[in-house]
Amino acid sequence: MQWSLLRPVGLVPAALVLSTIAASAGGGKAAGPSEFLLVAQIVLLIAVGRGLGEIMQRIGQPSVIGELLAGILLGPSLFGWIWPEAQAAIFPKTPEQKAMIDGVAQVGILLLLLLTGMETDLKLVRKIGKAAIAISISGIVVPFACGFALGEFLPDALLPEPQARLVASLFMGTALSISSVKIVAVVVREMNFMRRDVGQIIVATAVIDDTIGWIIIAVIFSLASQGTLDFAAVAKAVLGTLAFLVASFTVGRRLVFHLIRWANDTLVSTAPVITVILLLMGTMALITHLIGVHTVLGAFVAGILVGESPILTRQIDERLRGLISSFFMPVFFGLAGLSADLSVLRDPNLLMLTGLLVVIASVGKFGGAFVGGTVGGLNYRESLALASGMNARGSTEVIIATIGLSIGVLSQNLFTMIVTMAIVTTMAMPPMLRAALARLPMNKDEKERLDREEFEKRGFVANLERPLLAVDESVNATFAAHIAGLIAGMRGLPITVLHVGRRAKQQEESRDEEESHEAVVKKAAVSANSDEGAGHVDVVTRARKASLGEAVAEEARKGFDLLVVGVDKVAASKDRFDRKIEDAAAKFDGPLALVAAKGKHLKQPMPEALNILVPVSGSGVSKRGAEVAVALTQAGSGSLRVVYVATTRDKGAQRGASRGLNQEAGILKDASDLAARYDVDITTTLRVNRAPEAAILREIDTTDVDLVVMGVDRIQADHLSFGGVADAVLRQSKVSVLLVSSGEARQASVEKA
């Protein structure tokens, strides 16, 4: 890699300002802490840490290694060795000044654990199940025993309190046994192996490792604070931890979800959800401190609960992740590097002990994970990849070592040895894992699953997070509630039912409880065929006396990604929608689903099955309609018919060329493949007609379908328009119609079905 590629990352500018900062710091020494020095320290740690992190990522290493190296370079290991006066001026060891940057770092620890928890996929852990637990236990016990034994034989000179050797040995065992779920997840994700079977096992095992690790740390912290092996204190810590975990994953799960939704839907201040998330993190950290364990466990569990919230939008996740990754992580890991004085490794004895520590840590973790993988039912190659992936210590070990140093369990030299071990094992992990995975072929079932997941990543229904259903008191509203319930029930999505109109609230309250729109949504959700908890949808009801457009405008800011509209009057004239529909569409920027109940659905708005017809053309918007139709068929236990209309206006059809026929066959095959991914049987039909709308209406008249689903584009015009084909089908169809539009309007063009 050329130096010209590395210069822009901030290392050269940081080096140029070091002398200026040192001169200013040296010339302005004072008895009290300096805000100038605090800002200078943060600037240097971020600039050098992010710069080295960029370099590490370009050579295939995780960025956290660069942030650790930044602290080492700015600390006594290099900068303090070359220019000790300047290093001491910028990073003085006075308690007051050190307390300022340490406060930032402590907040960084909590935020880092919050982020780690948010990235933890409990569904993945449940899916792997017993195998991951067996692998994790074996992968912890073996290196823990090795680390504990090493701690028992360490020279007294390496221990701050030789009489408290037990606690130090427990810390050593923990430091050698726990993998860094963040490092493991980042590396596996960057290598595109996150969704491979072995990748899921690696990450799930690392999650269990981390969770067990923080419980162990909580117990050790209690031991260290008591000074002796107080069984009552240990019992209190263990029982308190278990009670905290049980409460968190039962009552706490629902509470966190409701708090996040309340903040998102009620508060109008800037970033209210992030504020609530930070308050939740702080509160749970305080709770764990009060029960006698470390605050990091509370932050980690808070992150897991926040990450499981079904309305945690991607924007909120990215904003919080960006703040932590760009500010707090470089400061925390940089300070950890500053605390590690690698110059002590010039002592041959310490260097030999550090090498022994690295070897014991690697052999213990690798061997334990390999044995666990074999016992858990993995083959030789899978166990080899698992053992390679689990050997990365990274951020977790640094946090553990930092805690041990801060409470006086670890000495400065022992801390440096553990940080060195974390850096070496983490840097060795990516090439080892790449080599192991390169020899691991993909089986047929795994390939089919990955292809489906890749398809869903680009899909529409699979990426929905939160639909909004706007209804009045009409029969069409009940049918729309049924449709929305099927969509929400597929993936357990929370849904908001918005009642509009002056009589809406009274009408809803006067309905029988089993006939309310909320009940219709829940009943449809229960009937949805889902592997992720059909029927477990959270429904919120809101009533607005304002017009449909005004009510939707008020709700639109809350992060909904689909608006389903079911009102009595949909069309007003030959080529215009009702004014209420147009106002609602104008106020909502995202995808829109318009429901028009007709035929038997006017008498039976909650059908047991749906017989669906979906026209396709090969365009992106028609694929969206086909995806919704497949999802509704799967959820509603009905039939699906796909029709492709080859119009005589098409050049391919006019020529009668084989290319045109191949295109038609390809479009129908795409629809068949889409249905096959969801195990839905379909019937395909090819019709040739000059007018697509005529062919579609003919298909409706000659088959037993009762719902037409069409993917449509919003056409740029002075009123709401989806084009002539959709307009004709909506007005002339004898069966119900569902129009699913894109979020943005496009220029009018030659229409196809």
In DSSP notation, 96-131 reads HHHHHHHHHHHHHHHHHHHHHHHT--HHHHHHHTHH
Q: Give how far Cα 14 sits from Cα of 19, 21, 151, Å.
A: 10, 10, 39
Note whether residue 446 is domain-resident.
no
**Contact between 334 and 101 (Cβ < 8 Å):** no
Q: HSE of 68 in the Cβ direction (CA atoms, 13 Å)?
A: 27
Domain of 682: which CATH number?
Answer: 3.40.50.620
Question: Same domain, yes or no, for 650 and 727?
Answer: yes
Can you give the C-alpha Rg of the chain in angstroms? 31
Note whether residue 599 is domain-resident.
no
Question: Same domain, yes or no, for 198 and 329?
Answer: yes
What is the pLDDT averaged over residues 105-110? 82
Following DSSP, what letter does each residue of 733-747 receive, concatenated?
A: -SSEEEEEEEEEEE-
Neighbours of 744 (CB within 10 A): 11
Distance CA 663, CA 686 (A): 12
Is a pLDDT exceeding 70 seen at residue 530? no
What is the pLDDT averaged over residues 65-77? 85
Is a pLDDT exceeding 60 seen at residue 655? no
Choosing from 93, 111, 134, the residue where a domain stops is 93
Distance CA 383, CA 371 (A): 8
Is a pLDDT exceeding 80 seen at residue 596? yes
Is a pLDDT exceeding 70 seen at residue 372? yes
Question: Buried (b) or exposed (e) across 201-236, using 16+ Cβ within 10 A?
Answer: bbbbbbbbbbbbbbbbbbbbbbbbeeeeeeeebbee
**Type of residue found at 168:** A
Note whether residue 554 is domain-resident.
yes
Residue 365's pLDDT band (cuts 50, 70, 90): confident
Residue 590's pLDDT band (cuts 50, 70, 90): confident
Domain of 335: which CATH number?
Answer: 1.20.1530.20
Give the residue numbers spanning the domain of 27: 1-93
Distance CA 351, CA 464 (A): 54
Is a pLDDT exceeding 60 seen at residue 26? no
Question: Same domain, yes or no, for 429 and 468?
Answer: no
Distance CA 99, CA 328 (A): 16
Question: Same domain, yes or no, for 83 and 121?
Answer: no
Note whether residue 553 is domain-resident.
yes
Name which residue leads in pLDDT, 650 or 452.
452
Note whether residue 241 is domain-resident.
yes
Task: Give the per-residue pLDDT at 744.
Answer: 62
pTM of this prediction?
0.71
Instruction: Name the residue among 146, 141, 148 with its Cα closest to residue 360.
Output: 146
Residue 254 CB-density burial (10 A; 0-12 exposed, 13-18 middle, 19+ buried) = exposed
Distance CA 609, CA 203 (A): 40
Residues with Cβ < 8 Å from 490, sequence gap 6 or more? 461, 528, 529, 530, 532, 534, 631, 634, 635
| Residue linked to tokens 């949504």 | 521
Lowest mean pLDDT among 100-114, 182-196, 669-683: 182-196
What is the pLDDT averaged over residues 501-526? 67
Choosing from 93, 120, 136, the residue where a domain stops is 93
Task: Give the per-residue pLDDT at 598.
Answer: 92
Neighbours of 251 (CB within 10 A): 10
Task: Give the per-residue pLDDT at 653.
Answer: 43
Is a pLDDT exceeding 80 seen at residue 6? no
Task: Give the per-residue pLDDT at 749.
Answer: 45
Name which residue leads in pLDDT, 650 or 291.
291
Question: Same domain, yes or no, for 460 and 574?
Answer: yes
What is the pLDDT averaged over residues 249-278? 86
State whether residue 180 is helix, strand or coil: coil
Q: Per mean pLDDT, which of 210-214, 251-255, 379-383 is the most reliable?
A: 251-255
Residue 416's pLDDT band (cuts 50, 70, 90): confident
Number of domains in the chain: 4
Task: Give the per-residue pLDDT at 265.
Answer: 82
Instruction: Name the residue among 61, 58, 52 with its Cα closest to residue 433.
Output: 61
Show the DSSP H helices in 495-557 as ranges.
504-510, 517-527, 548-556
What is the pLDDT averaged over residues 636-643? 84
Task: Give the per-residue pLDDT at 332.
Answer: 81
Distance CA 654, CA 660 (A): 9
Distance CA 673, CA 679 (A): 10
Compute the 3-state secondary structure of the chain and give helix, strand, coil in percent, each to the nearest 5.
65, 10, 25
Residue 76's pLDDT band (cuts 50, 70, 90): confident
Question: Same domain, yes or no, for 234 and 295?
Answer: yes
Distance CA 537, CA 557 (A): 21
Question: How far is CA 378 from its chain centroid?
Answer: 27
Task: Give the per-residue pLDDT at 2.
Answer: 40
Distance CA 663, CA 35 (A): 68
At residue 399, φ and ψ (nearest 5 deg) are -65, -45
Question: Same domain, yes or no, for 84 and 104?
Answer: no
**Contact between 212 and 132 (Cβ < 8 Å):** no
Residue 4's pLDDT band (cuts 50, 70, 90): very low
Residue 710's pLDDT band (cuts 50, 70, 90): very high
Instruction: Name the residue among 453, 524, 539, 558 with its Cα closest to residue 493.
Output: 539
Question: Same domain, yes or no, for 319 and 408?
Answer: yes
pLDDT tens-place string over residues 171-194? 888 878 877 666 676 667 666 676
pLDDT tens-place string over residues 286-313? 998 888 777 777 888 898 888 887 666 5
Following DSSP, what letter does each residue of 149-176 receive, concatenated?
A: HHHHHS-GGG-S-GGGHHHHHHHHHHHH
What is the pLDDT averaged over residues 325-332? 85
Task: Give the per-residue pLDDT at 411.
Answer: 84
Query: How big is the CA angle at 453 (ends 304 and 707), to the nearest 5 degrees?
Result: 105
Task: Give the per-residue pLDDT at 507.
Answer: 53
Sheet architecture: strand order including 682-689: 539-544, 495-500, 467-471, 562-566, 592-596, 736-746, 707-715, 611-616, 639-647, 682-689
Residue 3's pLDDT band (cuts 50, 70, 90): very low
Is a pLDDT exceeding 90 seen at residue 469? yes
Report the percentage of the chain scoring pLDDT > 90.
8
Task: Give the per-residue pLDDT at 735.
Answer: 92
Q: Give how far Cα 521 sits from Cα of 444, 468, 469, 480, 481, Å.
A: 38, 12, 10, 9, 5
Is a pLDDT exceeding 50 seen at residue 533? no
Question: Same domain, yes or no, for 415 and 315?
Answer: yes
- Average pLDDT over the chain, rounded to whole? 78
Distance CA 688, CA 641 (A): 16
Task: Give the per-residue pLDDT at 597.
Answer: 92
Name which residue leads in pLDDT, 313 or 61.
61
Note whether residue 445 is domain-resident.
no
Is a pLDDT exceeding 80 seen at residue 200? no
Task: Give the per-residue pLDDT at 1.
Answer: 40
**Kind plus residue range of the DSSP H or E element containing 563:** strand 562-566
Choosing from 93, 119, 137, the residue where a domain stops is 93
Instruction: Name the residue among 299, 370, 248 with its Cα closest to residue 108.
Output: 299
How many residues comprise the chain?
Answer: 753
Residue 510's pLDDT band (cuts 50, 70, 90): low
Lowest mean pLDDT among 2-11, 122-131, 620-629: 2-11
Note whether residue 598 is domain-resident.
no
pLDDT tens-place string over residues 40-52? 889 999 999 999 9
Task: Give the per-residue pLDDT at 608.
Answer: 85
Question: Same domain, yes or no, for 645 and 708?
Answer: yes
**Type of residue found at 567:** V
Distance CA 232, CA 650 (A): 82
Distance CA 114, CA 182 (A): 11
Question: Same domain, yes or no, for 475 and 507?
Answer: yes
Distance CA 70, CA 332 (A): 11
What is the pLDDT averaged over residues 558-587? 83
**Contact between 537 and 501 (Cβ < 8 Å):** no
Note whether residue 269 is domain-resident.
yes
Question: Same domain, yes or no, for 429 and 555?
Answer: no
